[in-house]
C-alpha cells in the first residue's frame, strides 16, 4: 500500500470516528441540508471554524446543549434537548448561532429556556466492530406537521325575502310534506300519497311570509380550508421485521426495502 492511499484511509477513519463521537451537528440549510459542522465539546466562537451565523438546523444526539447568538455564550441562549430541529427559525436563531456548550447533567433548567420539542432522534452509528444485518421493511408512513387553516373572504349574492311567496319555505314544505305523505298507503297508493304530500307541503310553505317581493343583496362570506403545514414530511415512521420481531423507528428520509440493524435489531447507519 502506497503512502498516499494509506493517508487517505487514515483520514477517512478519523472522519468516521469524529462523526460517531459527535453529539451535536449544525447544518447550513433548513431540513439538515448544505454544509455541516459537528462537535462533541464546547465551541466558544463559531467564527474560528467558519460557521458563524450560518446554522439553520441542528441535530442533538445525546445530552443537552446550550446554543447562543453571540460568542462566549452571551446574548440570547436556548437549551436544546436530544432530537432533530429542522429549522432554527422557530426559536429565532436562524443564521444567528455563534457558540455552543454542553449542559451539565445535574443542572436544573427552567422550562422557558428550552427550545420547542424536537423530532425524536436515534444514534444509529455502528458500535465497534459489531456485525450488521439487513431487516425487511414492513410498513412506511410519512408524517407531516399539523394542518394549517387558510381563510379568505368572498363576495356572495343572497336572495332576501320581503314578503310574497316564500321560496325557501316552499322547498322545506315540499320535503316535509313528502316525508309525511310517504307514511300513508302502500304500493302504488304509497307513491301517490308521497307526491300529494309534497305538493301540499309546498303550497303550505309558500304561504309562509306571503305579502312582499324578494331582492338580491351582496354580502361578505368567510370561508376556510385546511392545508398541509409543509409539503415535505417531517419524518418517516418505519416498521421492520428482524428475526420474527417487529421494530419501529423514525427516519429523516424514506427507507428502501430493508434497513441495516445489529444482532439485537437496533438500526444502524
Give 99-139 pLDDT, tens digit per residue: 999 999 899 999 999 999 888 777 777 888 899 999 999 99
Q: Which residues pair with 148 in a beta bridge?
A: 227
Which listed CATH number (2.40.50.150, 3.60.10.10, 3.40.50.10490, 2.60.20.10) goes with 3-121?
2.60.20.10
- Confidence (pLDDT) at 231: 60
pTM above 0.85, yes or no: no
- Confidence (pLDDT) at 21: 52
Domain ranges across the chain = 3-121, 131-147+228-269, 150-226
Q: Which residues pair with 169 in a beta bridge?
A: none
Give 70-108 pLDDT, tens digit per residue: 999 999 999 999 988 999 998 899 999 999 999 998 999
- Listed as own residue / partner, the contacts of 23-26 with beta carbons closer than 8 Å and 24 or more positions apart are 23/60, 23/61, 23/62, 23/63, 23/65, 23/102, 24/58, 24/59, 24/60, 24/61, 24/65, 24/80, 24/100, 25/58, 25/59, 25/61, 26/51, 26/54, 26/55, 26/57, 26/58, 26/97, 26/100
Residue 125's Cβ-count burial label (10 Å; 0-12, 13-18, 19+) is middle
> Averaged over 38-49, what is the pLDDT?
93
**Phi and psi (nearest 5°) for 203?**
-65, -40
Closest CA to 139 of 262, 251, 231: 251
pLDDT at residue 267 greater than cutoff 50 = yes
pLDDT at residue 183 greater than cutoff 50 = no
The x, y and z cell numbers of residue 79, run together, are 437549551
- Confidence (pLDDT) at 148: 65
Amino acid at each position: 500500500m502506497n503512502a498516499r492511499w494509506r493517508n487517505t484511509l487514515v483520514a477517512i477513519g478519523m472522519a468516521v470516528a469524529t462523526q460517531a463521537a459527535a453529539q451535536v451537528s449544525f447544518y447550513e440549510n433548513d431540513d439538515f441540508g448544505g454544509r455541516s459542522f459537528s462537535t462533541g465539546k464546547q465551541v466558544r466562537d463559531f467564527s474560528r471554524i467558519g460557521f458563524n451565523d450560518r446554522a439553520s438546523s441542528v441535530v442533538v444526539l445525546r445530552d443537552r446543549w446550550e446554543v447562543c447568538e453571540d460568542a462566549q455564550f452571551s446574548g440570547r441562549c436556548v437549551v436544546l434537548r436530544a432530537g432533530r430541529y429542522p429549522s432554527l427559525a422557530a426559536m429565532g436563531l436562524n443564521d444567528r448561532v455563534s457558540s455552543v456548550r454542553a449542559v451539565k447533567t445535574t443542572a436544573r433548567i427552567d422550562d422557558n429556556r428550552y427550545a420547542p420539542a424536537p423530532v425524536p432522534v436515534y444514534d444509529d452509528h455502528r458500535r465497534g466492530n459489531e456485525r450488521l444485518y439487513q431487516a425487511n421493511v414492513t410498513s412506511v408512513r410519512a408524517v407531516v406537521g399539523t394542518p394549517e387553516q387558510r381563510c379568505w373572504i368572498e363576495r356572495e349574492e343572497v336572495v332576501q325575502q320581503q314578503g310574497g311567496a316564500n321560496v325557501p319555505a316552499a322547498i322545506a314544505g315540499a320535503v316535509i310534506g313528502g316525508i309525511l305523505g310517504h307514511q300513508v298507503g302502500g304500493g302504488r297508493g304509497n307513491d301517490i300519497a308521497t307526491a300529494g304530500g309534497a305538493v301540499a307541503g309546498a303550497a303550505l310553505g309558500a304561504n309562509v311570509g306571503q305579502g312582499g317581493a324578494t331582492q338580491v343583496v351582496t354580502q361578505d362570506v368567510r370561508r376556510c380550508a385546511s392545508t398541509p403545514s409543509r409539503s415535505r414530511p417531517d419524518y418517516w415512521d418505519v416498521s421492520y421485521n428482524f428475526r420474527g420481531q417487529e421494530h419501529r423507528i423514525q427516519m429523516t428520509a424514506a427507507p428502501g426495502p430493508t434497513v441495516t440493524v445489529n444482532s439485537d435489531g437496533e438500526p444502524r447507519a
